[in-house]
Chains A and B, each alone.
Chain A
Amino acid sequence: KAGVTQTPRYLIKTRGQQVTLSCSPISGHRSVSWYQQTPGQGLQFLFEYFSETQRNKGNFPGRFSGRQFSNSRSEMNVSTLELGDSALYLCASSIRGGIYNEQFFGPGTRLTVL
Chain B
Amino acid sequence: TQLLEQSPQFLSIQEGENLTVYCNSSSVFSSLQWYRQEPGEGPVLLVTVVTGGEVKKLKRLTFQFGDARKDSSLHITAAQPGDTGLYLCAGVVIAGRRALTFGSGTRLQVQP
Contacts and interface: CB of A to CB of B under 8 A. Distances in A.
Partners in one complex: yes
Interface of A: 4, 33, 35, 42-45, 48, 56, 58, 90, 92, 98-100, 102-108
Contacts of A43: 43, 88, 90, 102, 105
B1 to A, nearest CB: 12
B99 interface: yes
Interface in B1-48: 2, 30-31, 33, 35, 40-45, 48
Contacts of B90: 43
Contacts, number: 56
Contacts of A105: 35, 41-44
B24 to A, nearest CB: 15
Contact of B42 (A98, A100, A106): A106
Contacts of B41: 105, 107-108
Interface residues of B, number: 25
Contacts of A45: 99-102
Contacts of B99: 45, 48, 56, 58, 99
B103 to A, nearest CB: 7
Contact of A98 (B35, B44, B45, B98): B98
A6 to B, nearest CB: 8
Interface of B: 2, 30-31, 33, 35, 40-45, 48, 88, 90-92, 97-105
9 shortest interchain CB distances as A-B pairs: A105-B42, A43-B102, A100-B92, A99-B100, A45-B99, A42-B104, A105-B43, A90-B42, A106-B42
Given A43-B88, A99-B92, A104 B104 contact: no
B100 A100 contact: yes
B98 A44 contact: no
B42 A108 contact: yes
A102 B42 contact: no
Contacts of A99: 92, 98-100
